[in-house]
Amino acid sequence: MTRNFREWTLAELDKTFHLRQIRTSPVLEDWLGGAAGISGAERQMLTVFRDKLLRNVHDWNETELAQYFIGPVLTLADYTTDYFNLFAERHFQAVVDGIEMAGKPDAMIASGWREPEKPFFCFQEYKRETDPEGDPAAQTLAAMLAAQGINENQRPVYGCYVKGRDWFFMVLQIKVYTISEPYIATRDDLFDIFRILKVLKQIILSFFTDSPCLSVR
């Protein structure tokens, strides 16, 4: 029987796969603290996105949040390369410790161009800010576990989920995962969010080039 990513809770994932959450990790700290340049044009566009979010975040539904804010921010970060691409709502599945898991993350970065092959980053947006349903952290972590199973290596898997204005970043290493404190996109945190997204691009690029993670320009 296949379990969909959206059916899990963090408690179930912890017990089923013997996972352990820790408060911080060097991999997460390196990601969140990485250097990336933001151009004047990017800063101007992010300010426009932030103002639109500030005006609408309380009332937008999931589709509106994705189309009018999250999508433009991810597009601006630009994950289309010769090695990997950004995909939306693409189905993937894997067997993790004998359990088949499947689903369609709202977005993911994976190798491949026309179709995703090996996922490196899983993203989940979360309804509207008020009266949420489900567990976005668990949905993201479940997808990250499946990505780990597909990749069959010890490399960290990265993730992020958005709950209204709050962005949470995640890292999974073997059986240990870490979730960041929220970054609030209606504040100047948005520039940090964008920097972190650009650092992620360089981290994933290093998987293919074996180069150190340098500042993104």
Structure tokens given for 147: 């990505």
Q: How far apart are CA 136 and CA 166, in angstroms?
A: 12
pLDDT of residue 130: 47
Q: Which residues contact 108 (CB under 8 A, 6 or more apart)?
A: 86, 87, 90, 92, 116, 119, 120, 121, 122, 123, 143, 147
Asked if residue 140 lies in contact with residue 122, where contact means CB atoms within 8 angstroms, the answer is yes
Q: How far apart are CA 172 and CA 160, in angstroms?
A: 11
User: How many C-beta atoms lie closer than 10 Å to residue 127's C-beta?
Assistant: 18
User: Would strands 119-125 and 157-163 be described as parallel, antiparallel, or unpaired?
Assistant: parallel
Low-confidence ranges of the chain (pLDDT < 50): 129-131, 211-217
- Convert the pLDDT of each residue in 122-178 to its tens digit: 999 876 544 456 689 999 999 999 999 999 877 999 999 999 999 999 999 999 999
pLDDT of residue 128: 54
The DSSP output letter for 181 is P
User: How many C-beta atoms lie closer than 10 Å to residue 45's C-beta?
Assistant: 16
What are the backbone angles phi and psi of residue 201, rounded to the nearest 5°? -60, -45
pLDDT of residue 179: 98
CATH topology of domain 2-208: tt1808, chain A (3.90.1570)
Residue extents of the structural domains in the chain: 2-208
Q: How far apart are CA 148 and CA 142, in angstroms?
A: 10
Q: How far apart are CA 203 and CA 214, in angstroms?
A: 9
Amino acid, single-letter form, for residue 47: T
Q: Say what the pTM is.
A: 0.92
